[in-house]
Amino acid sequence: MTIKSGWFASELRRELGLRNRRWARGRAHVRSYGNPPVIVYPPESARHGNFFDAAYSAIAARPEWMRRFDKIHAQGRALPKAESGRKWRELDSSMSSDALLMNIFCTPGVAEAPAMRRTLGADGEDSPVFGWKARVPLKSGRFDRTEVDMRWGELLVEAKLTESDFQIKAEAVVEAYRDFDAVFDRELLPRVELATRRRREATEFPEDYSQEFEDAGLDDGETVRAESPKMPVSARHSSAIIGASTAIDGEIAYAGYQLIRNVLAAHAHGCSFCVIHDERRPDLREAWFEVMAAVKSAEMRVRLKVLTWQELAALLPEGLQEFLDRKYGIVAPGRTISPVEDTSEFD
């Protein structure tokens, strides 16, 4: 993670924080202990403050979509306890890229629209599946079942919003995938040295890692724990680290792990793979291009895509476009974004 990418992520978190402080008026919510605080919404009978009403109604009507609410918020210790006693979920957070993805693709009519299917290259009549277990083959003969954000027919999707990067993983973990060398030129992939970071207090950047660090489940039920958050000490295009660290072990790792893993998933299952990110995060697009450039096969490269939420917004119903503008500052190209209002009068 470079200073540049950290700046883009923090600026987007700042803007979303301001927008959601206004959006939260009249809706049940709490603020995290961090500074600036993050808005988190609990469900309210038939509605949820973090969701477009039509999307939430559709989610509630489909148990397989509602199961995404089973994922506990990874930084719940940075949040006040809910009055109901319910544990906070990842989808409750105003910074959640999974919630943004579901707000769009669970809204009735969106996934069925021919223009949306053409834009993403989705085929068949399948409905989107959220949190799909990919079963990526390992050299050991087992499979990594880490979740892909969405599978839609033969399309795999990785959604990004305020996450700092695409994860960093040690060489041994990444090179354990069966098809790694068949798909990638390892010398072209970005690598970093690792420094182990100290444990953060609850008040420190509580949303930085809310969705990034996942468990890698194996096919026999055994689970390999994801590694503690790591930071690069040196990289091809990085000259500094952000934040304090307590140890440097010098271990070499690959940057863009989520991208590498999902490309391997697409290769194994004969799928295409698309990254959807915010146009205010050009750092994520650059990171994706760097991984794409390391793919050996031209046939595989043409199955790799990138889109922005803003590009998708042009294909959405007017009511959903208004929701995305007010809550996320996402508008279709050529449209004027609503201003970020001063919310100090509501504090």
**Lowest-confidence range among 108-117, 243-252, 335-344?**
243-252
Mean pLDDT of the residues in the chain: 85
Kindly report, residue by residue over 26-41, the tens digit of the pLDDT. Answer: 999 999 987 889 999 9
- What pLDDT is stored for residue 204 in this prediction? 40
**Model confidence at 250, in pLDDT bands (50, 70, 90)?**
confident
Tell me the domain boundaries of the chain. Answer: 3-202+210-346
Helices (H), 193-281: 257-269
Work out the widest C-alpha separation in the chain, in whole angstroms. Answer: 59
Contact 277, 162 (CB under 8 A): no
In tens, the pLDDT along 39-80 reads: 999 999 899 999 999 999 999 999 999 999 999 998 888 889
Cα angle, residue 73 at apex, residues 110 and 245 outer, rounded to 5°: 120
Q: Does residue 118 register a pLDDT over 70?
A: yes
Please tell me the least confidently modeled range out of 2-6, 147-151, 262-266: 2-6
Of the two residues 7 and 207, the one the predictor is more confident about is 7
Residue-wise pLDDT tens digits, 82-107:
888 899 999 999 999 999 999 999 99
Percent of the chain with pLDDT over 90: 71
Two tokens at 344? 């100090």
**18 alpha carbon, distance to own chain's centre:** 20
